[in-house]
Amino acid sequence: MSWASRPRFELMGRIRRWSLSRQSPETSIRLTQKRIYILPTASGTLFLVLLMLLLLMAINYENNLIYALTFLLGSLFLVTILHTYHNLAGIQLTAVRGNHCHAGETAYFQLRLDQQGVRDRIRLLLPGGSPVTVDLVEPIHWLELGCPALERGWLKPSWVRLETLYPLGLFRAWTWARLEMKALVYPAPLDSPLPEQSESTWEGIEQNEGRDGTEDFTGLERFRPGMSPRQIDWKSLARGRGLYAKQFTDYSSPDLWLDLHSMGGEPLERRLSRITGWVEQLSKEDRRYGLRLGATVLEPDRGEQHRYRVLKALALYGLEGTAE
């Protein structure tokens, strides 16, 4: 940041803090004159200086043509203020949802904009994110804004900024809004191989247990009362060998346990990241796993809901004020 832009940056920071201190977080807000600020841009300031020079020339030379040009451009300058303001006024902004992600990624928040009429070049921005420019032609518009997720836990952007330079770029109208939106940031996954069976973090990893099932054929045995007729081996009966039943066995991996406190002396964040990487790998393989995280114990299970519960526990472990 150059020395010339530092005062403007500090001034905008003070205005933002003052504006946000007057607001309470809401799910939906409507932009009114109490929320919208408007100031000339650099081009607008230069345009105003030009008007003053033209007025001085008109007075000095008593030239009616210069007077007319000055008043015409001055009127255009004033009308632009109204059009710039009305390009934001009346918009209703609603927070819909936040998409969960891992630390180091970008969390995206879905917003809904409701308005009447046609508006041009509305730009929206979250702290640290890239601006998104939209033309509000339809009454309802959906968009996603990105915000860097630097740390695990709940990510709650402190503000969302809306601004416009419409129609001539002479004025900038903007506002800051405090919306109730949040996204859960999981620990950054650490890509590491699954541990061997001998490691205490896991129980029974690479061992299979067989049970009666329907997957793999294991042989024949004499048919006994109570067996399902579907198990009868009709080929053996047709060959005169007697009544036999087919036997099948299902093979499945035993339940796996992830235990934070059995992973040695690595830093906490690295252990959480390592477990997160294992969770993602086991979820892709559709294997059952459980989690021991201090007083938190999640029984072995599989599926997307179980993955979310495990990653949420990892994301909020040890953080204050995260009982949401």
pLDDT attached to residue 24? 82
User: Has residue 198 got a pLDDT over 70?
Assistant: no
Q: What is the mean pLDDT of residues 115-142?
A: 87
pLDDT attached to residue 294? 84
Instruction: Give the least confident one: 46-60, 68-82, 164-178, 226-240.
Output: 226-240
The string of DSSP letters for 302-321 reads -SHHHHHHHHHHHHHTT-TT
User: Has residue 251 got a pLDDT over 70?
Assistant: no
User: Has residue 95 got a pLDDT over 90?
Assistant: yes
User: Has residue 255 got a pLDDT over 90?
Assistant: no
Query: Which helix H or strand E contains 244, and what residues bound it?
Result: strand 244-252
130 contact partners, CB below 8 Å, separation of at least 6: 146
Parallel, antiparallel, or unpaired for β 289-293 and 256-259? Answer: parallel
Q: Helix axis angle, 268-284 relative to 304-316, nearest 10°?
A: 180
Q: What is the mean pLDDT of residues 206-222?
A: 51
pLDDT attached to residue 205? 35
pLDDT bucket at 320, cuts 50 / 70 / 90: low
Q: What is the mean pLDDT of residues 267-277?
A: 93
**Percent of the chain at pLDDT exceeding 90:** 52
User: Has residue 163 got a pLDDT over 90?
Assistant: yes
Q: What is the mean pLDDT of the chain?
A: 83
Contacts 24+ apart (CB under 8 A), 215-222: 215/248, 215/249, 215/250, 215/251, 216/248, 216/249, 216/250, 216/251, 217/246, 217/247, 217/248, 218/247, 218/248, 218/249, 219/247, 220/244, 220/245, 220/246, 220/247, 221/245, 221/247
pLDDT attached to residue 148? 95
pLDDT attached to residue 46? 95
pLDDT attached to residue 5? 58
Query: Which helix H or strand E contains 127, and what residues bound it?
Result: none
Distance CA 133, CA 177 (A): 17
pLDDT attached to residue 286? 87
**Percent of the chain at pLDDT exceeding 70:** 84
pLDDT bucket at 4, cuts 50 / 70 / 90: very low
User: Has residue 201 got a pLDDT over 90?
Assistant: no
8 Å CB contact between 319 and 153? yes
Q: What is the mean pLDDT of residues 140-148?
A: 93
User: Has residue 291 got a pLDDT over 60?
Assistant: yes
User: Has residue 249 got a pLDDT over 70?
Assistant: no
Q: What is the mean pLDDT of residues 190-210?
A: 52
pLDDT attached to residue 321? 54
pLDDT attached to residue 208? 39
pLDDT attached to residue 68? 94
Q: Which two tokens stand for residue 257?
A: 């346990």
More confident residue, 308 or 196: 308
More confident residue, 24 or 297: 297
pLDDT attached to residue 91? 92
pLDDT bucket at 119, cuts 50 / 70 / 90: confident
